[in-house]
């Protein structure tokens, strides 16, 4: 995935819509902020996810962060390879580190999602 062509949520997830299937991941900034990841919990295929609601958790030794879905729909695939190799999440957040593929129930993406430039601004503003 090209970071510049993705849409981003305020909660640091990225999404790319191809037809009615959205691919979801976590931004490079957010992944770098999560050190020493130890565990990820993703929903299995068939589960419903809802825009703005948590769909899973990523844990380090002394922190746990919820991940929020940018779209509403049904999970068609989750990246089961991540469980055994969380390094992929950090090393390739836009590629092998993808999290979910979701069949969306409504077409298009929410207007609340940001493009890369807006997201970079959002991240920088939050860091201060």
Partner 1 sequence: MRNTLATKLLFDLSQPGRRGAVFPKSDVPDQALDELIPRAHQSTSAPALPEVTEPEVIRHFVNLSTKNMSVDTHFYPLGSCTMKYNPKRHERLSALPGIVDMHPYRSVEDSQGMLELLFTMQAMLAEISGLPAISLQPAAGAQGEFTALLVSSAYFRDKGETRTKVLFPNSAHGTNPASAALAGFECVQLKSTAQGFVDLNELSAHLDQSTAVFMVTNPNTLGMFERDLPEIARRVHAVGGLVYIDGANMNAICGITRPGDFGGDMMHYNVHKTFTGPHGAGGPGSGPIAVRDFLGDYLPGPVVVRREGPGTSGVSSDSTLVYDLAVPARSIGRVRSFFGNVGILVRGYCYLRTLGAAGVRAMSENAVLNANYLLAKLKDVLPVPQGDRCMHEFVASARQLKEERGISAMDIAKRLLDYGFHAPTVYFPLVVPESIMIEPTETESRETLDAFAQAIRDIVREDPELLHQAPHETPISRPDEVRAARTPVLKWITSEG
Partner 2 sequence: MAYLYNTPQQQREMLATIGVGSIAELFEQVPENLRLRRPLDLPPALTEIELENHLRELAAKNTTKKTGVCFLGGGSYDHFIPSAIDAVASRSEFYTAYTPYQAEASQGTLQAFFEYQSLICQLTGMDVSNASLYEGGTAVSEAVFMAMRVTDRHSKVVILGSVHPEYRQVCETYLRQVNCELVVVPVPDGIADVAAVRQVLDDRTACLVIQQPNFFGCLEQTRELTDAARKVGALSVVSFDPISLGLLARPGEYGADIAVAEGQALGIPMQYGGPYLGILACRQEFVRKMPGRLIGETVDREGQRCYVLNLQAREQHIRREKATSNICTNQGLMALRATVYLSLLGPTGLREVAELCTRKAHYAAERLSKVPGIELAFRQPFFKEFALRCRAGVDPILKKARAAGFDIGPDLKRFRNSGVSSAENCLLIAVTEQRSRTEIDKLAEALSG
Provide the minimum distance between the beta carbon of 99 and partner 2 in the complex, in angstroms, as a whole number.
17
Residue 87 contacts by C-beta under 8 Å, 6 or more apart in sequence?
A: none
Provide the minimum distance between the beta carbon of 64 and partner 2 in the complex, in angstroms, as a whole number.
4
Provide the minimum distance between the beta carbon of 89 and partner 1 in the complex, in angstroms, as a whole number.
13
Angstrom distances, CA of residue 43 to CA of 26, 67, 95, 118:
15, 11, 19, 29
Question: Do 25 and 72 form a contact (C-beta atoms < 8 A)?
Answer: no
> One symbol per residue from 88 to 107: x for binding partner 1 (CB under 8 A), - otherwise; what is it?
--------------------
Provide the minimum distance between the beta carbon of 38 and partner 2 in the complex, in angstroms, as a whole number.
8
Of 49-78, binders to partner 2 (CB under 8 A) are 57, 59-64, 66
Comparing CB distances to partner 2, the nearer of 28 and 59 is: 59
Of 23-42, binders to partner 2 (CB under 8 A) are 38-39, 41
With 0-12 / 13-18 / 19 or more C-beta atoms within 10 angstroms meaning exposed / middle / buried, residue 73 is buried
- Report the distance separating Cα 4 and Cα 119, nearest Å: 10
End-to-end CA distance of the chain: 29
Name the site residues for partner 2 (rule: CB under 8 A): 38-39, 41, 57, 59-64, 66
Name the site residues for partner 1 (rule: CB under 8 A): 36, 38-39, 59, 61-62, 86
């Amino acid at each position: 995935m090209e970071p510049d062509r993705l849409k981003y949520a305020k909660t640091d997830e990225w999404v790319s819509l191809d037809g009615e299937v959205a691919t979801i991941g976590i931004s490079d900034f957010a992944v770098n902020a999560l050190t020493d990841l130890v565990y990820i919990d993703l929903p299995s295929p068939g589960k419903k996810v809802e825009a703005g609601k948590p769909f899973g958790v990523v844990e380090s030794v002394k922190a746990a962060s919820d991940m929020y879905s940018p779209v509403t729909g049904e999970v068609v695939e989750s990246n089961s390879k991540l469980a055994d190799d969380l390094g992929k999440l950090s090393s390739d957040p836009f590629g092998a580190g993808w999290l979910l593929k979701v069949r969306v129930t409504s077409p298009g993406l929410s207007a609340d999602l940001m493009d890369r430039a807006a997201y970079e601004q959002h991240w920088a503003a939050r860091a201060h």
